[in-house]
Structure 1
């Protein structure tokens, strides 16, 4: 194998691939990236046995072939090469080395046989459809903060992506919850997605897919089966196993009878919560919301460190209410609001609270209260 490639193109391709690689591996080959040169391009493949990513780049190929090299080490070398450099790569099969040359820099890296690189089993996909990058990004960005990190409830360790029946017809829906807060976001159902099975996309996959979605107008090809999901752009293909479990009936925890409505500027609210929470203990991080006629008082009382209070002007015309929340949860939910106003719908101090973005019903959030 022998080829030349621009440093910028090489860095882009290797960055996407090496991000999948786990830093600690009991199987040496999983620490490597598989590169294959053929025709007028080169592909870079990496896997952790759950996710596989393949990135392609244009290159001047003098001799076709393939080998594997440490993904993290190779990425670091390419990252530190000067901008605009032309990188030449040549496999020395006799020595088991990859020779990397750029200008006056030369590296000789240990390789492992490409035949040992694992191949992810293929899948028959039940649904194949295209979706704009901006749509997928919104679905994942507005839900991933609520993904659970508890390994015991593994079925909550991802975003549940499925087709939902609504009053406006079928929608593509993403849901995440950790039992304390919940995020549910809808998007118009793409053509040919009707037969898509509901799948739980793992947190790591969600994070990796986000890197594919930098171009809002790009069309992302999505393929879904009962066990796998694949996202593809012209240059990158990411295939992932989905979580083997049943997502809980989330509809049961979304309150429908909350009538006490508060409208507040989302940015002002998030900043005020952050300020008053400064004095609270890290363990509880509880903030009390006291609601009266068009006025919200945020307060924290931490016996060990002090107290804080701040008033905000809000639109509220219901009965007085005092309710407590985890400050971090309030901030994360408020951060999802793209519009000026956040609308909170309360019932009682012990009941879950609903939040939406202005009059937009396509994204709703639920947060459980705390005792304060």
Structure 2
């Protein structure tokens, strides 16, 4: 194999594929990137057995061939080469690859490509295209609520499905960790109607989010009951889906919360951030909201450090009411609100609270209260 290509093109593509490779691997071949020189360019593929990323880099191929080299080491070498430099990749047999650029020479050990795993895609039952910004919104506004609990593996991703909302078919993305829930929807892309409800793993949505930066044109999505494939420009990401049933999130979404609070988003965010400065991790970073007519008082009590209080003028006309929340969870939800005001709907101090944008219905969030 002998191929010449521009350093920046190689670095960009290696940046896409090497992130999939885990630093520690039981199988040495999984630490490598598969590189195939063809007349069309240099094909690169990396996998962790759950996700596979493939990309083709423009290159001048002298001798076609295929090999595998350590992904992270190659990325670091190319990253440190001069900007705009020409890079020559050459193998003699399957034992070593020589990387040459200017006066720099490196030799990396290769592993036989025959042992490189192939994440078979199978047959996809649904395919559609979605604008990059729409997909980015669905992921960004729900990703923070993905659970980290390995025992409840079915919560370790974003649940995506379509629903008939009365005004047409909508696509929903939902994530929850049991403490908070995020639900965002958009008009369903053509071809997605009737798609199976799927749970896209955390690592997959994280990588897709990174790959969306700078993507021009629509993102292709293909899926089956067990796998999903994204085509983002020249990058193809294939991933296994999480097997299992996502819980009935509609059951925990409040429907009869009558107490309504409307407050300026930025003022609330800054106030919560300030008073939570003294909140203790031992106390769950709890902040208490005390509501009365036209006024909200935020307070934190830390036996080791003291207290903090701040008042805000709000729209609230119900009876006086107190409720507590984890400050970090509250701030994360507020950060997803895109209207100037944020609306809270309460029932009582022990029931889930509904949070949404003022006048908007595409996104809603549920936050469980804390005892304070």
Instruction: Name the counterpart of 1:59.
Output: 59
Instruction: Name the counterpart of 1:114.
Output: 113
Q: What does residue range 1-372 of structure 1 map to in structure 2 within 5 Å?
A: 1-93=1-93, 96-215=95-214, 218-283=217-282, 284-372=284-372
- Cα separation, 1, equivalents of 2:3 and 2:231: 25
Structure 1's 321 and 216: CA in aligned 2 closer, same or farther, altered over 3 A?
Answer: farther
- Cα separation, 2, equivalents of 1:200 and 1:298: 37
Count, aligned residues: 371
Answer whether contact 2:45 2:52 (CA < 8 A) is retained: yes
Deviates more, 1:338-347 or 1:298-307: 338-347
Answer whether contact 2:7 2:81 (CA < 8 A) is retained: yes
Instruction: Give the secondary structure class of the aligned counterpart of 2:152.
Output: helix
Instruction: Give the secondary structure class of the aligned counterpart of 1:337.
Output: coil
Instruction: Give the secondary structure class of the aligned counterpart of 1:146.
Output: coil
**Deviation at 1:122?**
2.5
Answer whether contact 2:217 2:233 (CA < 8 A) is retained: no
Structure 1's 216 and 103: CA in aligned 2 closer, same or farther, altered over 3 A?
Answer: closer
- Cα separation, 2, equivalents of 1:230 and 1:134: 18
**Deviation at 1:216?**
6.5
Answer whether contact 1:134 1:216 (CA < 8 A) is retained: no
**Deviation at 1:161?**
0.6
Instruction: Give the secondary structure class of the aligned counterpart of 2:211.
Output: coil
- Cα separation, 1, equivalents of 2:119 and 2:239: 9
Instruction: Give the secondary structure class of the aligned counterpart of 2:91.
Output: strand
- Cα separation, 2, equivalents of 1:11 and 1:313: 52
Runs of 4+ off more than 3 Å = none
Answer whether contact 1:132 1:217 (CA < 8 A) is retained: no
Instruction: Give the secondary structure class of the aligned counterpart of 2:151.
Output: helix
Instruction: Give the secondary structure class of the aligned counterpart of 2:315.
Output: coil
TM-score by length of 1: 0.98
Structure 2 residues not aligned, in runs of 5+: none
- Cα separation, 1, equivalents of 2:131 and 2:294: 40
Answer whether contact 1:133 1:215 (CA < 8 A) is retained: no
- Cα separation, 2, equivalents of 1:65 and 1:297: 68
